[in-house]
Amino acid sequence: MNTKNLTTAILFAMILGAILGGIFNQFFMDHSFVSEFLVGNVFHVIGAIFVSSLKMLVVPLVFVSLVCGVAALGDINKLGRLGGKALLFYLATTAIAITIALSIATIAAPGQGFEISSTNIQTFIPKESPSLADTIINLVPTNPIEAMAKGEMLPLILFSLLLGIAIVMAGDAGKRIEQQFNDYNDIIMQLVMILMKLAPIGIFSLIAKTFALQGFDVIKPLLSYFMVVVSALIIHALIVYPLLLKSLSGLSISTFLRKMRSVQIFAFSTASSNATIPFNIQNTEKKLGVDNSVASFTIPLGATINMDGTAIMQGVATVFIANVYGIDLAISDYLLVILTATLASIGTAGVPGVGLIMLAMVLNQVGLPVEGIALIIGVDRLLDMIRTAVNVTGDATATVVIAKSEGALDTKIYNN
């Protein structure tokens, strides 16, 4: 199957999964054949295997591809510039995202007149979020193999960067090892291709299961909150990113959006930026023409620290919870939310549902009741899927813009 057919198949799988899941949810969930056998076993097992196999690729791919990327750069100054640009882009877009979210939420005022009894309140037990000092110390792995085994992204990124730098500095020995890493990289990319061919089945199962279990009824009592989050996500993905792309790189917006579609569906169905890393790297390199030396660095980094969609949810949730509890937020509170949510985005791991845990930190900062999170848990899975698609789009936008500015983007491939 060529990549165009694959994208069509993935899109088709998602739509079919959503329709079938929706029908199951409305009419058939009291039949045990559907709820237990199909949804609980068949879709669940296939979907879980698909997500596991994506995750299986993340550590080897990030490690090998990043070492190759740094070695190919061959220049530590270039690496520093790349890192600086990526950090600036990621932090700035997150701050823009949350400002948009707070502005829309303030105008639309979701949660005013909200009846707490009208929704299924679920219990929410906040987990301790790590302190800033620990986060910084933990960047350096005491044991790189342990960091890999635990799938800790930032320590893995740091170790791979250092190894790549050492390879550049090691002369002939470095050249020999670089060649080997390049070979490994080609092989792992083949592995990604193999898995991509199975993606339509995996995506169909994941989406069908989620829609069968969730349905749309959960949204009704929280419609205003849901709609405000989705509107801010759409504005960010379809206006802010495209404007940045056009103004900073001059590249075609429609080409970018078209070529991002299948990556977004991956992110949507897995609700995990991390699990989407292999596909996002492959897509930015093979379809958008970005050189491996940039994509191998900015995509895993973005999946770990850049969560614009998550920041949007956190901004709207803060205003919503304040409205429900009748607490007024001052301008200084809004500024604090922008700052904390931007920092929280760095600490949010790219896995399902973590954005909600980090929301506790934001609420604490402005003195809002953390229990408020229980109000929005019910719709969070669906929102998580949508915001993850925005998160990975942000990573790809940054990658394309930075690659263009570094002369590391092949416009022929991009426009093809």
Q: Note whether 310 binds ligand ASP by CB under 6 A.
A: yes
Q: Is 360 in the site for ligand ASP (CB under 6 A)?
A: no
Q: What is the DSSP letter of 369?
A: -
What's the min distance (Å) between Cβ of 313 and ligand ASP? 7
Residue 333 near ligand ASP by CB under 6 A: no
Burial of 131: CB neighbours in 10 Å, binned 0-12, 13-18, 19+: exposed
Residues 260, 393: contact at Cβ < 8 Å?
Answer: yes
**86 near ligand ASP (CB under 6 A):** no
Asked whether position 224 contacts ligand ASP by CB under 6 A, the answer is no
Q: Contact at 8 Å (CB) between 296 and 281?
A: yes
Task: Count how many Cα atoms sit within 13 Å of the Cα of residue 35 in the half-sphere of its side chain.
Answer: 10
Collapse the DSSP code of 409 into the 3-class scheme (helix H, G, I; strand E, B; otherwise coil) and give the result. strand
384 interacts with ligand ASP by CB under 6 A: yes
Establish if 210 lies at the interface with ligand ASP (CB under 6 A): no
Residue of the chain from 80, 84, 353, 367 that contacts ligand ASP (CB under 6 A) = 353
21 part of the interface to ligand ASP, by CB under 6 A: no
Report the C-alpha gap between 171 and 65 in whole angstroms. Answer: 20
Residue nearest to ligand ASP (CB): 355
Closest CA to 348 of 288, 285, 273, 253: 273
> Residues binding ligand ASP: what is the number (CB under 6 A)?
16
Identify the CA nearest to 309 among candidates 396, 230, 368, 197: 230
Name the packing angle between helices 76-108 and 373-405 (round to 10°): 140
Q: How far is the CB of 369 from ligand ASP (least distance, A)?
A: 21
The DSSP bridge partners found for residue 409 are 290
Cα 359 from Cα 224, distance rounded (Å): 19
| Residue 65 binds ligand ASP (CB under 6 A) | no
* Stretch of 291-299, 334-342, 353-361, 407-415 contacting ligand ASP, by CB under 6 A: 353-361
- Shortest distance in whole angstroms from residue 274 CB to ligand ASP: 6
Inter-residue contact 370 to 360 (CB < 8 Å): yes
Among 7, 283, 348, 399, binds ligand ASP (CB under 6 A): 348
Q: Would you mind telling me the total number of residues written for the chain in this entry?
A: 416
Which of residues 203 and 354 has its CB atom nearest to ligand ASP in the complex?
354
Q: If binding is defined by CB under 6 A, does position 119 make contact with ligand ASP?
A: no
CB of 77 to ligand ASP, least distance (A): 31
Angle at 49 between CA 48 and CA 52, to 5 degrees: 85
CB of 408 to ligand ASP, least distance (A): 25
Site for ligand ASP in 256-275 (CB under 6 A): 271-273
By CB under 6 A, residue 93 contacts ligand ASP: no
In the numeric block, the tokens 């299961």 are attached to 209
Q: How far is the CB of 176 from ligand ASP (least distance, A)?
A: 37
Cβ-based nearer residue to ligand ASP, 353 or 367:
353
Report the interface residues with ligand ASP, using CB under 6 A: 271-273, 307, 310, 348, 350-355, 384, 387-388, 391
